[in-house]
Structure 1
Amino acid sequence: MPTPVNDTTNARELAAGVHVDEIVTVESGPQLADVLREATVNNHSVIPFGGRRSLATGNPAGPAKFGLDLTGLSGILSYEPADLTLSVRAGTTLAEIQKTLGESGQELPIDVPFPEVTTVGGLAATGFAGPRRLRSGSLRDLLIGCEFVRGDGLLAKAGGMVVKNVSGFEIPRFLHGSWGALAVLISVNLKVTPLARADGTLHARFDGLDTAIQAVHRLIAEEPSIEACVVTSDPHGVLVAARAVGRPGAVAASLDSFAQRLGSEIARLEAEQSRAFWQDLVNRHAEDDSKIVLAIGARPRDVGSLATRIGDITAGHDATIQVSTGLGSLRIVIPANGEDLATGIAALATADGASYVLESASPALRLSLPTWGTEPEGIEVMRSVKREFDPGGILNPGRLPL
């Protein structure tokens, strides 16, 4: 077993309510396999972590034996600009990855909160996807291979380094969004894209949430060039932000078309201003841990009606509703003392056939309101997969309802 590091009382609290007895720094795949193999034999629970941005999300869990610090698994393994492929260790930050790609005029076309500390392994584990998923997809769509260690210590690889890889099972995408409950990533192989030469955003104000969502539905249906579009309703009003990226002339034409279709332009942001606006927006996803945050997924055709009804019950409260209509997603942020309001929103979403995740809340609310919503159909299949990948149940025990 590797020597634990940072073994102090403060270091053992990885995040609010997340405690471990010892922290182990991992720097190689074989070392990680040894740790997990021994943990399985001794029935020691393990919590892997990188940038620690999402450790508090999930069901409350008891203290774990080990916290696995994966930030030592960092660095670019292979980069072939001509092939548009990249292999990188899981503890590498997105800022380092984007800097390397940018030097060759390429990028990962994804939204990343706080890229200076967010690791690619953590992003894959949580399955986070921001507004750019509307057109460019998420990290899941860019995964073409990975190396990982199962809960029982089995070191394995899946996929490869070619974009059109059709051999074997889709294990890399399967592990995406599994919250470290099945395996721990060592490295990932990704396909990359050319860096957009221009970036622009149009802002438009609306009198009501329902009117804004209807306008955005039409915009998305009629504008294939739209990269991202979000409706935000808060005590200051209702704002629509629509983004376009690509060649300068095409972006300018897209913004003109957005303005014509929305009919209520108030501002245009270009280049760094546009990028900064969207970076700030996704950063707020990771800054609201002092409040109650619910992420809701619904059918795109139903998201407008659901958002309007949520707007009705949050009226008069200091609430922010963020709607990505094309993705069928809503994000609701309410004050920390709004437990009853959160319970009402969750009940409304569930009754409407939508799913929700309680991203941030007090320990008391997490105990009374299911963090992951109602159990989905096929939960027993998911549990059988968990037993196959992690037979000892040592990885993030209790975090997911598996």
Structure 2
Amino acid sequence: MITTELITELQVILSSEQVIEGEKNNPLGNSGLVKVYPQSEEEISAILKYANENGKKVFIEGNGTKRGFGGLTESADILLSLSNYKGIVEYGVGDMTLTVKAGTNFKELQEYLAKFNQKISLDPFSPESATIGGIIASNESGPKRLGYGSSRDVVIGLRIVYPDGKIIRSGGRVVKNVAGYDMNKLFIGSMGTLGVISEVTVKLRPLSKNESLILLFFPQGNMEEIRTYATKLLDSTMEPVTLELLSPALAGKLTGHSCYTIAIGLEDVQTSVRYQENFIQSTQPDHTDLKILDANEAQSFWNHFYFVSFISSREFTQTSLKIGVKNMDVIHVLKESQLLIDSHNLDVEAHGGLGHGLCQVNLKGAKEDIISAIQRLRELSTKLGGYTVIKHLPFSLRQEVDTWGNKPSHFFLFNGIKSKVDPNKVLNPKRFVGGI
């Protein structure tokens, strides 16, 4: 009865085709009694205004790739999907800037920009289905963050629909915009708790003239040797876009060599790429093996890398962790992750950036072992002065394990901003740090 009334009221704002009954009993939660598909910023604004004035809760999603990322409520009143709110608003080829609607598919954007020899320098997981808005809202980034930077480095402007329906703009549509505070950073990574991102303006970069990937295998697993070599490379004049350490389990799946492996990505003009390849070959440590992949092989590797995932089943559960530490402490995280295979009877695949310190650890196994492993990795990251965030976990387990860990010392700032912007807690309630 409640769902029927809600659908009727929302059909005053949207057409009947844009309002459907929501999915029930999704194992990842973050569902809605009613799912809506706005196609304009005005419709997004009207939905939020209605929700704010009528005491309704709203969850936000693009294509649902972050559905298992946080959230302690199984279902809101309204699930607002931006999957039909997509398209390019403005593209300045000469200015190398792009303004796009938040629900636009990332891979489709990159394919379009490639026609003009340009790209968005972001490196998200699930690029074939992720939307630009979801990437920004979660501050998603992968191994190429070392060379590309994060969303905070790429985004120059946003349009935001506040929980009360008001539309604001932060930043601008030109690169050299220095007026006022950089409000973009407030919304990037806020998990949709402060407003619905409706438009994104990013600066672009040219497509690389040449690309290669060097795989450096360490069969003996000497962690100190890995540290020494990575430090030497980072201290040199080389400019790799990735310096990613792969665990033996992950390396075995991707390369056929089950040993610690450093994936060194190079992107530049051909002469620069060749020079860097020669340098890396000349400094290759003893007792290691090296393989160079050309541009096509490198692209195939990364496609395989992003699509590597665990298959869920009734007997097993799975999770994905984001662990941030000082760059060389990645070695400790991967070593500990490898030990979990035997100590906790888990399937574990892990990788981490030796240049930026972000790791991803995927775990598959029994529920109790998953929970214990998360606690062990969280203790390690805390000891190293870092953090552990759960990027993917079934809803039932999110009731037992905190996605974000302990509240940071600056939590009062987060809470104060949320209270000011969304006093009625309309948007993505209990989705962010400390249950915000």
Q: What is the TM-score with the length of structure 1 in the denominator? A: 0.93
Q: 1:376 aligns with which of 383, 408, 413?
A: 408
SS at match of 2:240: coil
Contact persistence 2:103–2:131 (CA under 8 A) = yes
CA–CA separation in structure 2 for the residues paired with 1:126 and 1:38: 25
Deviation larger for 231-240 or 313-322 = 313-322
Aligned CA distance change for structure 1 residues 315 and 221 (closer, same or farther; 3 Å):
farther
CA–CA separation in structure 1 for the residues paired with 2:127 and 2:350: 24
Q: 2:186 aligns with which of 174, 198, 203?
A: 174
The one-character-per-residue Cα deviations of 1:336-365 (angstroms, maximum 9, x if unpaired) are 312222222222222332211112234454
1:231 aligns with 2:256: no
Q: Which amino acid aligns with 1:200?
A: S
1:188 aligns with 2:188: no
Contact persistence 2:28–2:395 (CA under 8 A) = no
Contact persistence 1:152–1:392 (CA under 8 A) = no
CA–CA separation in structure 1 for the residues paired with 2:262 and 2:311: 21
Deviation larger for 215-224 or 160-169 = 215-224
CA–CA separation in structure 2 for the residues paired with 1:150 and 1:123: 19
CA–CA separation in structure 2 for the residues paired with 1:12 and 1:31: 25
Number of residue pairs matched? 400
SS at match of 1:273: helix
Task: Quote the offset at 1:393 in angstroms.
Answer: 0.6
CA–CA separation in structure 2 for the residues paired with 1:15 and 1:66: 18
1:341 aligns with 2:373: yes
Contact persistence 2:63–2:129 (CA under 8 A) = yes
Q: 1:58 aligns with which of 65, 70, 82?
A: 70
Identical columns (%): 25
SS at match of 1:262: coil
Alignment of 1:236-251 (within 5 A): 236-251=258-273
Q: 2:50 is matched with which residue? A: 38
Q: 1:7 aligns with which of 20, 33, 46?
A: 20
Contact persistence 2:161–2:167 (CA under 8 A) = yes
CA–CA separation in structure 1 for the residues paired with 2:200 and 2:45: 17
Contact persistence 2:27–2:396 (CA under 8 A) = no
Q: 2:302 is matched with which residue? A: 278
1:308 aligns with 2:330: no
SS at match of 2:32: strand
Q: 1:220 is matched with which residue? A: 234
Deviation larger for 175-184 or 352-361 = 352-361
SS at match of 2:355: helix
Q: 2:152 aligns with which of 132, 137, 140?
A: 140
CA–CA separation in structure 2 for the residues paired with 1:46 and 1:327: 34
Task: Quote the offset at 1:209 in angstroms.
Answer: 6.0
Contact persistence 1:292–1:336 (CA under 8 A) = no
Contact persistence 1:291–1:334 (CA under 8 A) = yes
Contact persistence 1:214–1:304 (CA under 8 A) = no
CA–CA separation in structure 2 for the residues paired with 1:133 and 1:370: 26
Q: 1:322 is matched with which residue? A: 351
Q: Which amino acid aligns with 2:279?
A: S
Contact persistence 2:31–2:59 (CA under 8 A) = no
Q: 1:27 aligns with which of 15, 34, 39?
A: 39
Deviation larger for 73-82 or 108-117 = 108-117
SS at match of 2:99: strand
SS at match of 2:111: helix
CA–CA separation in structure 2 for the residues paired with 1:307 and 1:326: 15
Task: Quote the offset at 1:376 in angstroms.
Answer: 0.8
The one-character-per-residue Cα deviations of 1:240-270 (angstroms, maximum 9, x if unpaired) are 1101001112112212222232333432111
Q: What is the TM-score with the length of structure 2 in the denominator? A: 0.86
The one-character-per-residue Cα deviations of 1:255-296 (angstroms, maximum 9, x if unpaired) are 222223233343211112112212322333x76775222211
Q: Which amino acid aligns with 1:212?
A: I
Contact persistence 1:12–1:23 (CA under 8 A) = no
Task: Quote the offset at 1:314 in angstroms.
Answer: 4.4
Deviation larger for 322-331 or 300-309 = 300-309
Deviation larger for 130-139 or 118-127 = 130-139
SS at match of 1:267: strand
CA–CA separation in structure 1 for the residues paired with 2:146 and 2:260: 20
SS at match of 1:7: strand
Q: 2:9 is matched with which residue? A: none
The one-character-per-residue Cα deviations of 1:55-111 (angstroms, maximum 9, x if unpaired) are 111132132000111122211111111111111111111122112211111111221
Q: 1:292 is matched with which residue? A: 319
Contact persistence 1:297–1:330 (CA under 8 A) = yes
The one-character-per-residue Cα deviations of 1:183-232 (angstroms, maximum 9, x if unpaired) are 10111111101110111001111121613243223222224321111111
Contact persistence 2:212–2:266 (CA under 8 A) = yes
Q: 1:396 is matched with which residue? A: 428
Contact persistence 1:234–1:319 (CA under 8 A) = no
Aligned CA distance change for structure 1 residues 127 and 221 (closer, same or farther; 3 Å):
same
Contact persistence 1:88–1:189 (CA under 8 A) = yes
SS at match of 1:335: strand
Contact persistence 2:211–2:294 (CA under 8 A) = yes
Alignment of 1:52-91 (within 5 A): 52-91=64-103
Q: 2:254 is matched with which residue? A: none
CA–CA separation in structure 1 for the residues paired with 2:341 and 2:378: 12
